[in-house]
Amino acid sequence: MKNNLLGRLALIALLAIVSTACNKNNDGITPQTHDANVYQQIMHANMTQMNAMKMTGDPDHDFAMMMSMHHQGAIDMANEVLKSGNDPMIKTMAQNVVSSQTSEKSQFTQFLSSHQAVASDAGKTFDAMAMQGMDKMMKAQDTRFLSGNSDVDFTALMIDHHQSALDMAQMELNYGKVDSMKQMAQKIIEEQKTEISQFQDWLIKNKPY
């Protein structure tokens, strides 16, 4: 009888501990469903558009085409955090993303309007690797913890998005032939490496989990 009483008291104590832990979690950050997250919605819509692109097999042409659409995803995400975010540093970085990538999109558009695509084995390799890179980015983003905090979620997902741009730019350096596109690829690598580091530093200091 005494043992049963002690057992029941122990069970009650354990349940109290579990309940307290659950309440602490409930008082903290609750993960947001990915489909409900506005940044994930932007990225999935952008990826759908990229998957619908008709690749030419020309590495420079397809780099310009894919990177232009990739930039649009970053611009859309940056405009969202400018609207719904609160952190001054993140808003400044988002405005830089909008300005720089809008300018680069214009350069890509100009190149595409004057460049005649010519398929090659190198281009086919580029296309296959680029699409694998896009899939890698989406898998990384689909496994991110999303808090519903606009500044935090934008920053976390932009790190993955920028890394994808770095990967694609490196592919252009490896397989591209046109100097202007290779120069743009190098510029993207240099700029977005720096931005990734800045985003990471901010996230380490400000993540709510």
Residue-range domain boundaries for the chain? 1-30, 32-206
Query: Region 64-91: what's the mean pLDDT?
Result: 97
Helices (H), the chain: 2-27, 38-51, 59-84, 88-114, 121-142, 150-175, 179-206
* pLDDT value at 18 more than 50: no
Pick the range with the lowest mean pLDDT from 76-85, 88-97, 117-126, 136-145: 136-145
- Which contacts qualify for 45-53: CB closer than 8 Å, 24 or more apart? 46/70, 46/72, 46/73, 46/76, 47/73, 47/134, 47/138, 50/134, 51/131, 51/134
Alpha carbons 2 and 10: distance in angstroms, whole number? 12
> CATH class for domain 32-206?
mainly alpha
pLDDT in tens, 162-183: 999 999 999 999 999 999 999 9
What percent of the chain stands above pLDDT 70? 85
Q: How many other CB atoms are found less than 10 A from the CB of residue 45?
A: 12
Which of 133, 147, 131, 140 lies closest to 38, judged by CA? 147
> Looking at residue 155, what is its pLDDT?
96
AA letter at 70: H
pLDDT in tens, 104-162: 999 999 999 999 999 999 999 999 999 898 889 888 888 888 889 999 999 999 999 99
CA within 13 Å, CB half, 121: 0
